[in-house]
Amino acid sequence: MAAVFPASQLKILPYNRVIRDLNGMTPDGFLEKVRSRFSVRDTNRPVPASPGSVHMYSGGKWRELVLAGTGRRGEAGPLDVTVLQEKLLGPLLGIDDPRTSGRIDFVGGLDSVQEMARRVDSGRWAVALSLFPVAIEDVMAYSDAGRIMPPKSTWFEPKLRSGLLIHTL
């Protein structure tokens, strides 16, 4: 299936993450390790206002993690999701391949932050990570550079309907 849209009419929404456990760490120990890798400050906003930060929910609180080394829009540089994987998900939480790990789930769309907070508050998930959406300029820059976007980095809505119908007489 294929669809064609003008770039000006395409909207990419955040594709956020929830993590099942803290890889054997206590919540305080995890937060201490996060603080050693990122600038962390409390916030009451669940959604980052711009690229270069990720909002983390745990223990009933939202915190902003300021990322260093993310690329500027439209340059095929490191995306927030890449920095998050390389500095937090892999080394701290042991999630080396987010495509295959059962300890991570992805929640996309407009209501994703409420769903993630609900999951963490239920006690079945340990931490939620809210990302700023990737820009269409980033997608085009990656394509122009012959690069592949990181896994689960874009969420598009509305989802196009597809299917196959067979009617036998």
Neighbours of 151 (CB within 10 A): 13
Distances (CA, A) of 75 to 72, 155, 157, 164: 6, 20, 24, 39
Q: How many CA atoms lie within 13 A of 154 on its CB side?
A: 18
Cβ atoms < 10 Å from Cβ of 129: 23
pLDDT in tens, 43-86: 999 999 999 999 999 999 999 999 876 656 666 678 899 999 99
* Residue 108 placed within a domain: yes
Number of domains in the chain: 1
Question: Which pLDDT belongs to residue 151?
Answer: 86
**Which CATH number belongs to the domain containing residue 84 in this structure?**
3.30.1760.10
Residue 169: inside a domain, yes or no? no
Extract the runs of DSSP E, i.e. beta strands, from the chain: 12-13, 15-19, 39-43, 53-58, 61-66, 104-108, 127-131, 155-156
Residue 74 lies in a domain: yes
The predicted-structure confidence for 94-141, as pLDDT tens digits, reads as follows 999 999 999 999 998 877 899 999 999 999 999 999 999 988 888 888
Residue 2 domain-assigned? no
Q: 49 lies in which domain range?
A: 10-156
